[in-house]
Structure 1
Amino acid sequence: MIITSSDNQKYKYISKLKSKKFRDKENSFIIESKKLVEEAISSADVDFIFLSEDNKGYESNLEKIVFSNNLFNKLTNLVNPDGFAAVVKKPRQKDIKGKKVLMLDQINDPGNMGTIIRSAEAFGFSDIILLANTCDIYNEKTLRASMGSIFRLNFVYKNIDDIKNLKEKYKIVSADMSGYDINEFKSDEDLILAIGNEANGLSDEVRNLTDIFVKIPMQGKIESLNAAIAASIIMNKLS
């Protein structure tokens, strides 16, 4: 059956999931593109997939909803959608167990967030702490930029008191332009790498908990790097 009416309950449900408030209420989010859908099928808890009429022949063991091309295009956030999408359940938070953990302090740009997540997987940071005022990791731009890494990492929401407790096990290393050269930093200790806001850097609370600040040495007249690039370089150095 091809759904052609916007009064359809599944259509209304998917439309509501574009809102962060509704995503939080339902503990679900939308992904788009065949690549991400197939990544999710192999790595996540997919509720159902939904397709454009052009892809009605796609075979899956999951529940499959087919919308007319017109209705699907109203649901998509992509300029050139390929007609593949799915609703996925948010994973449960797990205990932090990694020796190297990433902590994001008020990262605001969804594209930066997705790139950082992708790099975290590449460099072995399987646990990511999200502090208050950090952007929604289930934003469509974050999901696209993460290229599927978001399905394979452990995301935990913590406050400053939680971080204080983690200092019993972890050393906090924070990225800051006034820090030590990352190329000279060596440590065998379990550590949390803190990356701050794109414009304002680290919050005072995180600064006060930091054991050591590190920076990336740069040449020319460059004063700073994009947060995602900086995070990626430092994670690579620490891996």
Structure 2
Amino acid sequence: MDVISSARNPIFRALCQLRDEARERRLTGSILLDGAHLVQSLLHSGHMPRQLILTETAAQHPEVADLLLQCPVPRLWLSQARMSQLSELNTPQGILAIAARPTPRQVASKHAAIMDRIQDPGNLGTLLRTCAAAGVTEIYLLPGTTDPYAPRCLRAAMGAHFHLALHETSADLKDWLPRRMAVTVLEDSTSLYEADLEGPWAWVFGNEGQGVAPKLQAWANLRVHIPMVEGTESLNVAAAAAICLFEQRRRYGA
């Protein structure tokens, strides 16, 4: 087998570009999955990777060997040094995959979530994982939101991407959103635990520093806050989303 060992190899450089650049992921229609868990999640969703990227050592591991049996696709072999350079894991597992960038699909979801300029890939990934766990599978990403297929976002979501309908949209929400809109704000709002959460609702989760955009706040049908001990800092957006979505699920189910 041919093993890529040079950092100057054009194939290796293209892989690094796919990892680092949202534009490259859009142009090629491809994403890079890092680690056995994400590859397995892709398979469980009924999709096959386009290519596997691995080291000889990793191929001997039982979990990776099982994935090789499940994936009759082209394989690209890297030296351990190049794998360590390509993978962003602290301890690379020795396997990555190139997969098709998912296209939005129709899902049966009573509720939706709107991501308003979420900038940190880890936060967005955690939000997507939370939404999937709460049964909120229709997701809208507004302009200014980080690329949902950045490697760090994919890792934080732990495979949730493959169970969600992700829509990147620049359209004016007020013109087409088929649900009432709920936002979390401190001013002129009702306690989450006293609010009427019976849906369907579209929850808006806002930018880490600025919160939900004023225009979206003005359009909201419901403004809620999470009661907290006085004098404490506000919650991370992903933590706040988890509290809201699971309070709704606790009361009314999926």
TM-score with structure 2 length normalisation?
Answer: 0.87
Aligned twin of 1:171? 180
Q: Which runs of structure 2 are paired with 1:175-194 in the superposition (5 Å)?
A: 175-178=184-187, 179-194=189-204
The C-alpha deviation readout for 1:131-187, integer Å capped at 9, x for no partner, is: 0000111112111111111111110012252x11334x3100011122211111224
Deviation at 1:26, TM superposition (A): 0.8
The C-alpha deviation readout for 1:57-111, integer Å capped at 9, x for no partner, is: 4333222222121222222222210101111111111246521000010011111
Aligned twin of 1:132? 143
Q: Distance in 2 between matches of 1:160 and 1:176?
A: 23
Deviation at 1:49, TM superposition (A): 1.2
Aligned twin of 2:17? 16
Q: Distance in 1 between matches of 2:33 and 2:199?
A: 37
Q: Distance in 2 between matches of 1:51 and 1:74?
A: 13
Aligned twin of 1:123? 134
Q: Secondary structure at the match of 1:118?
A: helix
Deviation at 1:120, TM superposition (A): 0.4
Aligned twin of 1:2? 2
Q: Secondary structure at the match of 2:186?
A: strand
Q: Distance in 2 between matches of 1:46 and 1:10?
A: 17
Deviation at 1:221, TM superposition (A): 2.0
Q: Secondary structure at the match of 2:88?
A: coil
Q: In the superposition, relative to structure 1, how do residues 220 and 164 fare at CA in structure 2: closer, same or farther (>3 Å)?
A: closer
Counterpart of 2:53 (choices 50, 57, 80) is 50
User: Which deviates more from structure 2 when the two are superposed, residues 121-130 or residues 73-82?
Assistant: 73-82
Whether 2:169 is the aligned partner of 1:158: answer yes
Whether 2:212 is the aligned partner of 1:202: answer yes
Q: In the superposition, relative to structure 1, how do residues 127 and 2 fare at CA in structure 2: closer, same or farther (>3 Å)?
A: same
Q: State the one-letter code of the partner of 2:199.
A: E
Q: Distance in 1 between matches of 2:208 and 2:147?
A: 15
Q: Secondary structure at the match of 1:135?
A: coil
Q: Distance in 2 between matches of 1:79 and 1:188?
A: 43
Q: CA RMSD in A?
A: 1.8
Q: Please list every run of 5 or more consecutive structure 1 residues that lacks an aligned counterpart in the other structure.
A: none
Q: Distance in 2 between matches of 1:128 and 1:199?
A: 21
TM-score with structure 1 length normalisation?
Answer: 0.92
Q: In the superposition, relative to structure 1, how do residues 23 and 30 fare at CA in structure 2: closer, same or farther (>3 Å)?
A: same
Q: State the one-letter code of the partner of 2:184.
A: A
Percent identity reads 27
Deviation at 1:236, TM superposition (A): 0.7
Deviation at 1:53, TM superposition (A): 2.2
Q: Please list every run of 5 or more consecutive structure 2 residues that lacks an aligned counterpart in the other structure.
A: 250-254
